[in-house]
Amino acid sequence: MRLLAFAFAVLLVACSAPAAPAVPSAPAATPAVALDGNLCPDGTPTVPQRFRANTPWLDADGCRVTPQNGPPSVPSVQPPTVPIPDVALVKSSFGVSTLPAPRRAAGREPSPGAVLDFARNLIGRIDNFRSPTRIGSVSDGEWDSVVWPGEFQTIVRAAVTAKPVAGRFFHVDEATLDADYVLSSTGTQFSELTLHFRDHAENPPAEGELFYIWHLRVPNSGGSGFWAAVADGYDGVTAKTWTRTNTTYWTTSLLETEAKSAIAGYLWNESYVPGGNQQFASNRDTTPFWHQRIEGLNHLNALFAAGTLTERRFETMSVRIDAFEPLTYFGGGVMTVTIRGRLVEMIGGKTVIENFTQPLKFFRFGGNGLGLSGWTAVDAQEDGVWLSGGDLALDKLQTSFG
C-alpha cells in the first residue's frame, strides 16, 4: 500500500429629549425641525454641518444615503470534507525497552536570568492559588499545569495551606541551576534546580515565617528554553529523594488512546473524496522515510488532479501496539505498531479493494504524563522491508523530544 501522512453596518441611533407631560389645554406638538432649518427628502432633519465629518453614510446635504443594491453575492462553495477514518484498538501486551541513562552535565542557563525568572513565576503562581481575593477553588488542572501529578504536588499543596493566607506571600530568596541531564540524540532533556524561598508574614502580628528549600526536576526544550512546569521534586529540609524514581510518565492506556488518534490522522492524510482537495505532507523531506513518503503523496495528488483517482478511503481499520522504545525521561520514544484493514480506491471509474497489513513506526514526542502526546511517522514496512533503511533520522524531524 502507498504511504500515509500524519495529520489536519454601522448603526445610527437617534435620541430625543423626553416629552413633557401632556397638558389638556396645550396645542398639538409640531413636527421636528432641523437645527439648520433644512429637511431631507424623506422629511427627516438634516445632520448639522459640524457632525458630518467622517460619516460616509451621509450625502453632501447631510441626509442619509440609501445603499445601492449591487449584483447578488455568489455564495462560496466549500469542497467536501475528507472524513477521518475510524480506527479500532487491538489490545495486546507489548515490549518496552530499557530507557537510555541520561548523562549528568554542568547546568547551563538558556538565557541570562532564566532560572530566577522561572522560580519567581513558579512561586508567583503558587502564591496566587492561596490569594484571599481569588474567586473559586483551584482546580486539579491548574495544579497540574504548575506541578505534575504525584507525591511532590502533594508537598507543594501542603506548603500553600501551612499558614493563614491573610497578610502573607511567598518570597524567592535564591534559585540555582544544579545540572542538566543530556541524551546524545536529543540534547538537554531536563534540568535540576534548587529553590530557596520563604512564606513571609508582611504585617505583624501575623504568624512567623517558614523557610523552604525545594529541589526541582524540570523538562527542558532541548537546551533552547526553560520549562513550563515542575515534573518532580523533593523538600530539601526533610531530605527526601526524588518522588518519581521508579515511575514512568506514561501508561499503557494513554499510549493506546494516542495510537488510535495517530493512525486515524495518518490514514486521513492520504484519503480523497470526489470534488475534495489534494493532500499535503505533514513533515519536511528531511529523512529517508519522508523522502519516499512525499514522493508517494505527490503521485497520488497527480492521479487525483488528472481525474484518474477520484476516491480513496480506509475501512475496518485497526491498530495494535507491538513495542515501545522510550528515548527520553518523560516518555518520548519510538512506537512500533501494526495496522490492518481495507483500502478502497476508485481508479479509472473502477473500484479496487485491497486488504492489507502494515507495520509502522512513529516517534512519540512531547510526552509529559498529563495529556495526549504527538506522534509523527518515521518508518513503514513495504514487502517486508523498512523504507528508512534503518536510519530513522530522529534528529532531523525538527520536533521537540519531550
- pLDDT score, position 186: 57
Residue 92 has what pLDDT?
A: 93
| Same structural domain, 149 and 229 | yes
Domain end residue (candidates: 173, 205, 235): 235
Q: What are 274-330's pLDDT values in tens digits?
A: 999 999 988 889 999 999 999 999 999 999 999 999 999 999 999 999 999 988 777
pLDDT of residue 27: 41
What's the CATH number where 263 sits? 3.10.450
For residue 337, what are the domain limits? 87-98+250-396
Domain identity same for 176 and 254: no
Residues 258 and 390 placed together within one structural domain of the fold: yes
Do 292 and 220 belong to one domain? no
| Long-range contacts of the stretch 193-196 (C-beta < 8 A, 24+) | 193/115, 193/118, 193/119, 193/218, 194/236, 195/119, 195/122, 195/123, 196/172
Residue 81 resides in a domain: no
- Give the pLDDT score at 56: 75
341 and 295 assigned to the same domain:
yes
Whether 309 and 174 map to the same domain: the answer is: no
- Please list the ranges in the chain whose pLDDT falls under 70: 1-37, 67-71, 184-187, 204-206, 221-227, 245-246, 366-372, 398-402
Number of structural domains the chain divides into: 2
Flag whether the pTM goes above 0.95: no
| 14, HSE (Cβ side, Cα atoms, 13 Å) | 6
Q: Is residue 8 part of a domain?
A: no
Same domain, 320 and 367: yes
pLDDT at 221: 60
Long-range contacts formed by 340-343: CB under 8 A, 24+ apart:
340/90, 341/314, 341/315, 341/316, 341/317, 342/314, 342/315, 342/316, 342/317, 343/1, 343/312, 343/313, 343/314
Convert the pLDDT of each residue in 341-377 to its tens digit: 999 999 999 999 999 999 999 999 866 656 668 899 9
Q: Looking at the structure, tell me whether residues 215 and 349 fall in a common domain.
A: no
- Same domain for 217 and 188: yes
pLDDT of residue 187: 67
Classify residue 170: in a domain, yes or no: yes
